[in-house]
Structure 1
Amino acid sequence: MKAAQAAQFAPCVCNRQAGRLYFLTTEEQKRKALSYQKGNRGFGDTAAVIAIVTVDIAEMLEPTERYQHWIDGGLFAQNFLLGIHAQGYGACPLNWSAPITRDIGIRKLGYIPDSESIIMMVAIGPLKDEYSVARSERRPLADIAHFPDLEHKQ
């Protein structure tokens, strides 16, 4: 629960605190929920817990905030992930770029209210002493960090 507490301190629009977490712990709950997420084959069944990260979009009050739940949800999820790692557990964020049919399907399980938008799932479990992980090289810093004032003066 300390990881959930870390998520509570994520920045959010007007301090609305719209982030929500659903923890699935039984094998049946996890299996059913993961059947709607298509990026967990080969390891999803090994997770001790599956968390579903959502944002209550009823907290977004203005039409100009129509994308704010993605921003707040991402910050909330990041704090949650850092909190999991701070407790010594492993976490794998599982994206929720799902078509409406899968979104409706997971909602039929009864955990997620209609007013909440699913941001992602997170597979959580103990870390092994040793394991192999895929590692992608990162782009050079010069490709992602720009200083327009300095760059245009040259």
Structure 2
Amino acid sequence: MYFKPLLNILITPVEYAFDFFRAFSWSKASPFCPKQKQLHYDILLLAHTVEKGLSVSKPREGFGRVKILNLLHFLSLYQDDWSRFPLEKSYGCLKSYLDWNTSKGVELGDFGDKIYAFLQRCEQLGLEPKGGVKHISNSSLQNNPAAQAFLKARFSSRRFQPDKVDPDILSEIVEIARRSPSQCNRQSGRIHYYSRFEDIDRLLRLQGGAEEFRESVPNLFVISSEISAWSGFKARSQAYVDGALLAMQILNACQSLGLGACPLNLAVSNYKELKICEAGGISKGERLIMMIAFGFPEPTGLVVARSERMCTADLLTCH
């Protein structure tokens, strides 16, 4: 009666040891992490500090000099054939930074010249600036009862029509999902999509929690988060936070597009997680967050779990 719970407790340190081994092998601070991947996330992190500095109510003239010099150093080492996004984001951030200081009459001297040289490099590469700040009108922050009703109406569907999702709908799901927040805008989350029956069947057998409807799942996401976006003990859980936010946005995106979706937990051992990575062609440098079965729900008479929530008084503690 007590053997299985006791065994689970005894195995826990072993699993934590595997967690450490995977973090040591793949984290941004690891000597085994590819240099360009390290630079990718270092650049995104520092570029976002520029955006944050420009978005406060009273930016300080010439702020962030040390961090921007570090950013420019990382950019000088970064190879644009790895991924252009860090360059595009930095391009927009530093252009906004230079424009804002110019508008205030701030003389940046040699520091400003270094920023300008990077902007010229981006122009020569034909890049589009994708960072910086944007202005939001007050109307976008008004009370929105329709949005509230939509969010309250979400449910998990386990009954699907056999159709595969059209590529345009799939692209729209990802377009919505990529707006999900992430710590310092690292965007460590990844979305893996499967539509072939044999792939879905193999992955769901490994997941083990969808046996009663596994054969009727026409589309499947596996949500993951790159370990290399993080380093140090303070960020030991952040891959899961980023990945979970991305997964929630995907669930809302599915419902907004008329699709049913069901999140499937991946509370599995490291051994099983790596087996899923292997079966799904996913890098072992990614932590798996959850699977999401989705598709067009049965058109009439759909039955779903009520899944009643606890009352707000039990959920909320006011301090």
TM-score (norm 1): 0.91
Residue segments in structure 1 that go unaligned for 5+ positions in a row:
149-154
Q: 2:271 aligns with which of 76, 81, 101?
A: 101
Residue segments in structure 2 that go unaligned for 5+ positions in a row:
1-170
Partner of 2:145: none
Q: 1:77 aligns with which of 240, 247, 264?
A: 247
Question: What are the superposed Cα offsets for residues 65-99 of structure 1, whole Å, 9 maximum, x if unpaired?
Answer: 01001111110100011111111000000000011
Question: What are the superposed Cα offsets for residues 95-136 of structure 1, whole Å, 9 maximum, x if unpaired?
Answer: 000112211211222511011000000001111122222213
Note if contact 1:51-1:121 (Cα within 8 Å) is conserved in structure 2.
yes
Q: 2:220 aligns with which of 29, 47, 50?
A: 50
| Identical counterparts, % of pairs | 30
2:316 matches 1:145: yes
Note if contact 2:274-2:284 (Cα within 8 Å) is conserved in structure 1.
no
2:304 matches 1:133: yes
More strand by share: 1
TM-score (norm 2): 0.45
Partner of 2:258: 88
Letter in 2 for 1:138: R
User: What is the CA–CA distance in structure 2 between the aligned matches of 1:104 and 1:70, rounded to whole Å?
Assistant: 16
User: What is the CA–CA distance in structure 2 between the aligned matches of 1:35 and 1:47, rounded to whole Å?
Assistant: 12
Letter in 2 for 1:34: L
Secondary structure in structure 1 of the residue aligned to 2:314: helix
2:274 matches 1:111: no
Range 99-108 or range 30-39, more displaced: 99-108
Letter in 2 for 1:133: V
Q: 2:198 aligns with which of 28, 35, 48?
A: 28
2:209 matches 1:39: yes
Where do residues 52-67 of structure 1 align in structure 2 (5 Å cutoff)? 52-67=222-237
**Which structure has the bigger radius of gyration?**
2
Partner of 1:152: none
Q: How many residues align?
A: 148
User: What is the CA–CA distance in structure 2 between the aligned matches of 1:77 and 1:5, rounded to whole Å?
Assistant: 13
Note if contact 1:22-1:111 (Cα within 8 Å) is conserved in structure 2.
no
More helix by share: 2
User: What is the CA–CA distance in structure 2 between the aligned matches of 1:43 and 1:127, rounded to whole Å?
Assistant: 13
CA RMSD in angstroms, aligned pairs only: 1.2
